[in-house]
Amino acid sequence: MSGFLDKKYFVSRELSWLEFNARVLDEAGDVGNPLLERLKFIAIFSNNLDEFFMIRVAGLRQLLSSKTLQTDCSGLEPAAQIKAIKKRLKGLIERKYRYLLQEIMPALEEKGIQLVNPEQLSSEQRVFLKEYFLNQVFPVLTPFAVDPSHPFPILNSGAIEIAVSLSRDDSGKVLHAFVEVPQLLPRFIRLSFSPKNKQQYVLLEDLIMEHIQFLFSNCKIHEIIPFRITRDMDFSLDEEGVADLLQYMKKELLHRKSREPIRLELPKGSRGKLAEWLMEQFQLDDDLKYNVPMPLNPAAFFEFIGKVDRPDLMNQPWPPLPVPEFTGGGSMFSVIDREECVMDAVPFQGFDPVVKLLNEAAEDPDVLAIKQTLYRVSGDSPVIKALQRAAENGKQVTVILELKARFDENNNINWAVKLEESGAHVIYGIAGFKIHCKALLIVKRNKDMRIKRYVHLATGNYNDKTAKLYTDIGMFMCDPEICLEVSSLFNVMTGYSSPLNTWKRIAVAPFSLREKFIELIDREARISTKNNPGRIIAKMNSLVDPEIIAHLYRAAMAGVKIDLIVRGICCLKPGIGTSNINVISIVDRYLEHSRVFYFRNCGEEEYYLSSADWMPRNLDHRIEIMFPVEKESVRKVIRQTLEIQLKDKRKSRHMLPTGAYSRTFNKVKDNSASQFRTYQLFQEIYDKSRQRREEIKKLKVFSRPQEI
C-alpha cells in the first residue's frame, strides 16, 4: 500500500481548493447563465476566498511561523504552498474583476441597472444622497483617531475601513484616522430621481467618502483610501480542563476580533504617504498584500441581487416538489409505518416533511422522547421551534448542538440557551470531536403500549434555509435494527456508553467508518475480474484522505472502474498508471452536498448515504454516520441521479492528470445539465404518483354501491 502513497498520486489540498473556486468563477464567466446569476457566482467566489484566507492560509502561516517543515500529501512545504497560492490567486482575482467590471456590470447597465459614483449624478440626486447621509448614515459613524492617546484600533475582520490623513486648520501636522463602513447599514443605496426605466445604486463607502468632511470639521483632508483586512480565524480548541464549554466559546469568539491580520486588500494603484503609513502599521509580508480593483468585498453583491427586482435576469425558479409518499394524507408516523423507508431529496423536494414530523411529534401525546443532532441551523429555525414546543409539552427532548461549527458558533450558542430555557437537555458535543452526523430519533408508544422508534438520517444539516440551496438526501425509516443502532449512537454521544463492538447496519466515525469504507473498496478489488470488473461510484464534497486514495488506486489497478463525483477538494490525481479512475466536479445553481456511495459487489449492489466526506477530519475526528439504502424503489432513484450526473456535459468538469479541470464555456446549448435533469426526474416521479392517486379515487367512486 505504501507505493500508492507516493506524492505523484496527490494534488495539494490548498491548490485543489483553489481549483474548486476557479470552477465557481467559471460560472460567473458562463454567458449561458443569466446576468444576476453570474453576479451571484462572483459573490460566492469572493465569500469562499475570504474563508480560505481566514482558515487555510491562516493555518499555513501558523505552520510557517512555528518553523514546521512538514509537507502535504503532494510533497509541498508550507512556504511552497503559500507561494503557489499567491501565484494562482493572481490570475483568478484578475479574472474575477474582468468578469465583474468588463462583462457583467456593463451588461446590467444595458438592462437599466447601474452602479454609479456620486460624482456622476445630477444635482437633484446629490441633494437626495446628502440628506440620506446626514439622516441615515452620519449618526452611525464613528471616526477613530490614531495618536499617542488613541492607540491603533482593533479593526473588524472583513469590514471596509476608510483610512484618512488630515491636518487641523491651526497646525500643519499630518494626522491619521479610520472610519469603518457599518456592516449593518445597506451597502447598496438605491437612488430616487433615477432616469426612466433605470435602477441606479451608490455604494455606501462612496457616499461616506463623498461626505467625509462632516466627520472631521475644521480639518483639512489630504488623502482617503478604502481598504479591508481579513483576520486569522483558525484556532484549535483544547477542551481538556474546560469546565463550561458554552462560556469558553463565548470568550473565544470575542478574542477572534483581535487575531492577526492575514490579508490586506487595497485599491489597485494605491500610492502616496497614506498608503505607505498603512503598510507600516500592518507590517504584513508581501504575499498577504493584494491590490485589487474597486469595489472591495464583492461578496456583498448578494445584497445587491436581492434588491434588484428583475426575475428575468435570474434562473427560472424550480419550486420544491412534494414527497409523493407524504401527499396522500395520514400522519407522518403512519406513512413511515406503511412505507418503512421514504426518501426526501432537497432542494428538488421540500424540507417540509422534516418540520412536519417534528411538529407532529411535539403535539402527539404518545411521543415520549425526541433526540436530535444539530450542526448548522437557520436564524429563524422551524426545527428549533418544534423542539422547544415539544420540550414545553413535556417530551423528553435531547439536542446535541455542536458549538464548534465554524462560523455558526454564535448562532448555535443562542439556540442552546433558548432550548435550555424551554426545558430541553442540550449537549455540547464530545471532547475532542465535532458531532457532524445528521440524525433524528423519535420514541413513540403505540396503541398496544409497545415502544417504537422512528429515525431520520441525512447527508445534510437540519437547516430550512440551506435546504433550498444544497443538494442533500434524507431517509425517514422505522427499521427496528437501524433505529436500535441509532439509539445506541445517541447514548454514546450523550453519556458514557461505549460504542457497539459491531455496527451491523450503520457505520460510525471515528469507531468503524474508515474501516468500513476500506473494506468496501478492497472487497470490490478482490472480487473484480476481467470479465466481471468491479464498480465504485462515490459522490462527496471533498476527497483528501491519503489512505482512502491509496486503496482507491489499488482497486483501480485491480480493474475496478471508479467514478468519483467530487464537488470541491480532490487530492487524488487521476490517470496515473491507470485509466480506471474518473473524477468530475459539478458546479451549478445548487451546491452539491450529498454523500452517496455505490458498490457493485458482483451484482449484489450496495448503496450507502453518509454525513462524511473522505477526509481525515471526518473519519478520525468527528462523529459521522453512514447508513444503507435497501429499499429497491429508493435505490433505483439514487442510481438514476448518479447516472444523470455522470452524463452531465454542461455543468460538469473533468479532472485532468495535472490536477486542473476541463472547462464548459462553449456548451451553452447542451441540455444535459444534471441538476435540471434531476429536477425533471423528481417531477416525473411526483406526476406519476399523482396520476395513480387520481386513478385510485376514480376506482373508489365507480366501486361505490349505487343509491336507490
CATH number of the domain within which 516 lies: 3.30.870.10
- Is residue 698 in some structural domain? no
- Is residue 453 in some structural domain? yes
**In the prediction, which pLDDT does 122 show?**
86
Q: Euclidean distance between the first and final Cα of the chain, in Å?
A: 82
Same domain, yes or no: 490 and 515: no
d(CA 597, CA 489): 22
Greatest alpha-carbon pair distance for the chain in Å reads 107
Same domain, yes or no: 608 and 536: yes
**In the prediction, which pLDDT does 421 show?**
87
**In the prediction, which pLDDT does 159 show?**
92
Same domain, yes or no: 73 and 19: yes
CATH of the domain at 167: 3.30.1840.10
d(CA 640, CA 678): 8
| Residues β-bridged to residue 220 | 167
Q: Are 469 and 419 within 8 A, CB to CB? A: no
Same domain, yes or no: 309 and 328: no
- Is residue 31 in some structural domain? yes
**In the prediction, which pLDDT does 241 show?**
45
Q: How is residue 317 annotated by DSSP?
A: P
Q: Are 79 and 274 within 8 A, CB to CB? A: no
Same domain, yes or no: 196 and 50: yes
Instruction: Supply φ then ψ for residue 636, to 5 degrees.
Output: -60, -45
- Is residue 684 in some structural domain? no
Same domain, yes or no: 426 and 549: no
Same domain, yes or no: 542 and 644: yes
Report pLDDT digits (tens) over 100-111: 999 999 999 999
Same domain, yes or no: 190 and 249: yes
Geometric angle at alpha carbon 12, from 9 and 14, rounded to 5°:
155
| Residues β-bridged to residue 654 | 584
Geometric angle at alpha carbon 14, from 9 and 15, rounded to 5°:
65
User: Is residue 454 exposed (0-12), middle (13-18) or buried (19+ Cβ within 10 Å)?
Assistant: buried
SS3 of 283, please? coil
**In the prediction, which pLDDT does 708 show?**
37
Instruction: Supply φ then ψ for residue 175, to 5 degrees.
Output: -115, 165
- Is residue 703 in some structural domain? no
**In the prediction, which pLDDT does 70 show?**
79
Q: Which residue, 494, 527, 559, sits at the end of a domain?
A: 494
Which own/partner pairs from 660-669 qualify as long-range (CB within 8 Å, at least 24 positions apart)?
660/19, 661/19, 661/22, 661/23, 661/585, 663/26, 664/26, 664/30, 665/26, 665/29, 665/30, 665/31, 667/32, 668/30, 668/31, 668/32
Return the HEC string of 503-524.
CCCCEEECCCHHHHHHHHHHHH
The three cell numbers locating residue 75: 510533497
* Cα dist from 11 to 75, 78, 402, 579, whole Å: 9, 14, 31, 17
d(CA 190, CA 484): 57
d(CA 575, CA 661): 13
The three cell numbers locating residue 575: 490517470
d(CA 344, CA 325): 10
Q: Are 517 and 548 within 8 A, CB to CB? A: yes
Q: Are 485 and 504 within 8 A, CB to CB? A: yes
**What is the residue range of 544's domain?**
507-675
Tell how strand 199-203 and strand 113-116 pair up: parallel
Q: Which of 9, 125, 141, 127 is nearest to 73 (CA)?
A: 9
What is the residue-wise DSSP string for 15-45?
A: HHHHHHHHHHHHHHH-TTS-HHHHHHHHHHH
Q: Which residue, 472, 494, 516, sits at the end of a domain?
A: 494
Q: Which of 150, 211, 425, 436 is catalytic?
A: 436
Which residues have CB under 8 Å from 350's CB, separation 6+? 320, 321, 322, 323, 344, 467
593 is catalytic: no
Same domain, yes or no: 542 and 475: no
Q: Which of 562, 368, 338, 348 is nearest to 469 (CA)?
A: 348
d(CA 490, CA 499): 10
Torsion of CA 543, 629, 489, 355, to 10 degrees: 100
Same domain, yes or no: 490 and 526: no
**In the prediction, which pLDDT does 75 show?**
82
Q: Are 629 and 608 within 8 A, CB to CB? A: yes
**In the prediction, which pLDDT does 242 show?**
44
d(CA 152, CA 146): 6
Same domain, yes or no: 271 and 396: no
d(CA 96, CA 47): 12
- Is residue 462 in some structural domain? yes
What is the residue-wise DSSP string for 375-438?
A: SS--TT-HHHHHHHHHHHTT-EEEEEE-TTSTT-HHHHHHHHHHHHHTT-EEE--BTTBEE--E
CA atoms within 13 A on the CB side of 148: 0
**In the prediction, which pLDDT does 313 show?**
96
Which residues have CB under 8 Å from 661's CB, separation 6+? 19, 22, 23, 585, 653, 654, 655
- How many structural domains comprise the chain? 3
**Peptide linkage before 347 cis (omega within 30 of 0):** yes
**In the prediction, which pLDDT does 240 show?**
46
**In the prediction, which pLDDT does 705 show?**
54
d(CA 69, CA 80): 10
Q: Are 320 and 353 within 8 A, CB to CB? A: no
Name the stretches of the chain with pLDDT < 50.
237-244, 707-708
Q: How is residue 55 annotated by DSSP?
A: I
d(CA 693, CA 144): 68
Q: Which residue, 462, 494, 526, sits at the end of a domain?
A: 494
Same domain, yes or no: 280 and 348: no
| Residues β-bridged to residue 653 | 585
Element (H, E) at 89: helix 78-97
SS3 of 447, please? coil
- Is residue 500 in some structural domain? no
Q: Are 134 and 214 within 8 A, CB to CB? A: yes
Q: Are 162 and 225 within 8 A, CB to CB? A: yes
The three cell numbers locating residue 190: 438605491
Geometric angle at alpha carbon 386, from 380 and 387, rounded to 5°:
105
- Is residue 472 in some structural domain? yes
Task: Please report, as a single letter, which amino acid is at residue 632.
Answer: E
**In the prediction, which pLDDT does 133 show?**
95
